[in-house]
A and B are shown apart, each in its own frame.
Chain A
Amino acid sequence: MPVAHEGRVPVISTILLAQGHDLLAQGPDWIKFDVAAFLGQFWSDTIDGLTYGAIYALVAMGYTMVYGVLQLINFAHSEVFIVGAYAVFFTLSALGFGTSAPNLSTAALVGDLVLAMLVAMLVSGLVAVLLERVAYRPLRRRNAPRLAFLITAIGASFAIQYAIFAWRGPNPEPAIIMFRPEPVFDIGGVIITSQQLVIFVAAIVLMIVTDQFVNRTRLGRGLRAVAQDPDTATLMGVNKERVIVLTFLIGGILAGAAALFYMMRVPAGAQFNGGFILGIKAFAAAVLGGIGNIRGALLGGLLLGVIGNYGATLFGNGQWIDVVAFVVLVAILMIRPTGILGESLGRARV
């Protein structure tokens, strides 16, 4: 957002002029419906939407869990995510990955990718915990009003962004190509590639694991108890501070995993402000599903992914993705103000 044009080729520099596509200014044909393309691309758009939506959902988990426990919208979560993308970049660079797909056996490739994912999870998790420690805990100690947390979150987001900017400059890091996607399934001409399958399956599994962790383990029960009623939970012997750290840690870990999948799709994705738009979309996904609700984040992410793609194809161009996604978000919130599945991390049923 702040420096959308950093790192551009300055050559023509109309970039320095105000930009914007004034849809209304394009006359009466500013909107059209391309039904044929919509039907023709329906399945490929769906599959891509689900793949990207799974990444949204993983990031949305971080927003939703922190909100569930602290009623805090952690706007710096997008930077927790992008730090993970840098971790993926540096790990895979060190392992010899570069701008073309490496020649590796399946086992070696899986090993490298799992290692990169673990490093990213670790780094993002640490950054999230550090963020909580440095930015939010002092405020909590002083019983700061909720607005102070929100402003701090936005400030922390900028602070991390520009720390990365100062360190790595405005341009994205060079591409890291992990593997050439191969078609795995071909269902009546609809091709599902290995890349799409990997991202979707792994993301869903991670989210199920998290859901089960929250619902079925002792730590998860503590987490739900704090979400429901922090004071009573403390009286019952739950260590509230530990639960909060745990919440940030889980959110960070999932964001780190999301970073690996994101880099699979966008190989040059590590850029100082590269998490911003994705963060907004993930936050929207969390709200769509019902903020505070883990399963809602999953549902919201997937829905936001496919709806944007349908809209872009139906209305004829890619500039519609976010417009359509957010119009649908508003429409759903008008009918169900707490999101599709409701805000329910704190409730026993989750």
Chain B
Amino acid sequence: MARARRIATIASAAALAVVLAGCAANSGSSGDTGSGGPSKVDVPEVTTLPVPPNAVKPAGNGQAQCAPTTTIAFAGAQSGANAQLGINILNGAQLAVNQHNEANPNCQVQLKKFDTEGDPGKAPGIVTQLVSEPATIGALGLPFSGESKATGGIFEQAGLVHLTPSATNPSLTQNGWTTFFRALGNDSVQGPAAAKFITGTLGAKKVCVIQDDSDYGIGLATTTNEALGAVSADCQDKVTTGQKDFSTVANKVIAAKPDAVFFAGYYAEGAPLDQQLVTKGFTGAFVGPDGVKDDKFIQQAGDASNNAFFTCPCVPGELLPEFADAYKGVSGGGAPGTYSLEGYDSATILLAGIDSGITDRAGLLNWVKNYDADGFSKHFKWDGTGELAATTVYGYKVQAGKIVYVGTIG
């Protein structure tokens, strides 16, 4: 008897708690939870990208002649968890080679693919194999900074020129390698550009900078903070890889009432951070770098992601209709992804060299070193270290659950 009563008491207490909890869920007044942030700045979507009139096309003049064994290689992730970026680049390169071979019946260049899985541990063995094939006179890759760091010396020793369409760690050009060329701006360009975007376009007077614990995040936060100066001096925080609960960070941001938050890191932490900030009542802008610019960010942050802007050294290739249409033929229907156009341009540079009559590695290396012409993504001319002389950073934002382009930002 006594036991039955006790169980009944416990059960009703539990039921009460659930009901009470549920009522609380909806009964609150729809007031402002108190936050900083100005009225939203409207940054309109840009739906067109000017097509550079003088961009070098892979087709060339159609008169090229070369040995049938002439080969360029691509090394990068084609499988594994991080494969999408490598595939984007490979499809861009494949499109360039296809267009070249179609237009030049007397010069059929082969594109050899090597799968590194993006793994700095596996890449050296694979690259060693790549450089050992004498018919290969130029290479594309590697896409990631870690594997690039691990393999740059192998290319250098073999005297094989290689262009990376996506690795952005600034230190890659500080190793004395003469065969390494970067086809986009590095992270020390992105930080200042992001700062300019936040204070200029978004008009933020106060900014919180939050970094993760990766080399990428720490480096970007440093360059961004340097450019922001006093605007972000009072509001800094750090998070760890794999962190999911950002209460203290959110409390700090809410107390500081900034107009914008810049997160230097990847979307895995950026998405829950933005979601928890907005849940706490943050109404300003959330700005992230290319590590955050991904549809996964939108998925994982939910509708909170509507306050998000991204900076990226990547060109929105999908806005060049001719390129986008042709790309679909190679990718099996998919639209160009991040760094597809950079892959296309990089391959074009090598192909143009081959078309000019170059047949060996030394010649092609010299060709790239002295290259000075427009591509579809940008003007290509390198300095002595393998960095582009002039680089551009592009702005993106989330609009109605999609990432859209908002113009160049520096």
Contact = CB atoms under 8 A, between A and B. Distances in A.
B20 A201 contact: yes
A349 interface: no
Interface string A183-223: 11000000101110110011001101100110011100000
Given A9-B291, A13-B147, A218 B3 contact: yes
Interface string B273-290: 001100100000000001
A16 interface: yes
B33 A183 contact: yes
Contact of A184 (B24, B166, B254): B24
Nearest to A11: B290
A25 to B, nearest CB: 11
A151 interface: no
Contact of B299 (A175, A277, A312, A319): A175
A185 B26 CA distance: 13
A100 B302 contact: yes
Given A12-B290, A175-B300, A209-B14, A216 B213 contact: no
B153 interface: no
A172 interface: yes
Contacts of A109: 22, 25-26
Contacts of A110: 18-19, 21-23, 25
A12 B167 contact: yes
B214 interface: yes
A274 B19 CA distance: 29
Nearest to A100: B303
B82 A8 contact: yes
A143 interface: no
A41 B252 contact: yes
Contact of A10 (B7, B82, B219, B237): B82
Contacts of A168: none
Interface stretch (A43-51, A120-128, A231-239, A327-335): A43-51
B interface: dominant SS: helix
Nearest to B249: A318
A31 interface: no
A182 B244 contact: no
A181 interface: yes
Interface in B219-240: 219, 236-240
B247 interface: yes
B300 A37 contact: no
B129 interface: no
A180 B168 CA distance: 38
A230 interface: no
Given A184-B27, A313-B248, A201 B17 contact: yes
Interface string B114-152: 000011100000000000000000000001111101000
A322 B17 CA distance: 31
A302 interface: no
Interface string A286-325: 0000000000000000000000010011001111011000
Interface residues of A, number: 87
B389 interface: no
B142 to A, nearest CB: 9
Contact of B275 (A6, A170, A182, A268): A268
Contacts of B28: 181-184, 193-194
A312 B214 contact: no
Contacts of A198: 21-22, 24-25
B27 A8 contact: no
Contacts of A144: none
A50 to B, nearest CB: 10
Residue from the set B34, B86, B166, B252 with the largest chain A CB neighbour count within 10 Å: B252
B237 A13 contact: no
Contacts, number: 274
B244 A277 contact: yes
Nearest to A276: B242
Contacts of B219: 14
B25 A7 contact: no
A21 B217 CA distance: 11
B226 to A, nearest CB: 16
A44 B280 CA distance: 11
Contacts of A202: 17-18, 21
Contact of B248 (A17, A197, A206, A312): A312
Contacts of B33: 181-183, 191, 193
A267 B339 CA distance: 30
A164 interface: no
Contacts of B14: 205-206, 209
Contact of A268 (B13, B213, B271): B271
A106 B248 CA distance: 30
Contacts of B86: 10
A109 B271 CA distance: 25
Given A41-B251, A318-B240, A175 B6 contact: no
Given A4-B241, A9-B266, A52-B245, A15 B146 contact: yes
A48 B34 CA distance: 16
A194 B25 contact: yes
A148 interface: no
Contact of B3 (A5, A193, A217, A312): A217
Interface in A131-185: 169-172, 174-184
Interface in B243-266: 243-249, 251-252, 254-255, 266
B143 A13 contact: yes
B355 interface: no
Interface in B1-47: 3, 6-7, 10, 13-14, 17-31, 33-34
Contacts of B240: 21, 318-319, 322
13 contacts: A45-B248, A100-B303, A106-B26, A109-B26, A175-B302, A182-B28, A182-B29, A182-B33, A201-B20, A265-B245, A267-B272, A319-B213, A321-B245
Going nearest first, the 8 A-B pairs with the smallest beta carbon separation are: A182-B28, A13-B144, A16-B146, A110-B22, A10-B82, A48-B247, A268-B300, A175-B302
Interface of A: 3-17, 19-21, 37, 40-41, 44-45, 48-49, 51-52, 98-101, 105-107, 109-110, 113-114, 169-172, 174-184, 191, 193-195, 197-198, 201-202, 205-206, 208-209, 212-213, 216-218, 265-269, 274, 277-278, 309, 312-313, 316-319, 321-322
Given A13-B145, A15-B214, A45-B248, 5 more contacts: A8-B268, A10-B84, A183-B28, A208-B13, A318-B240
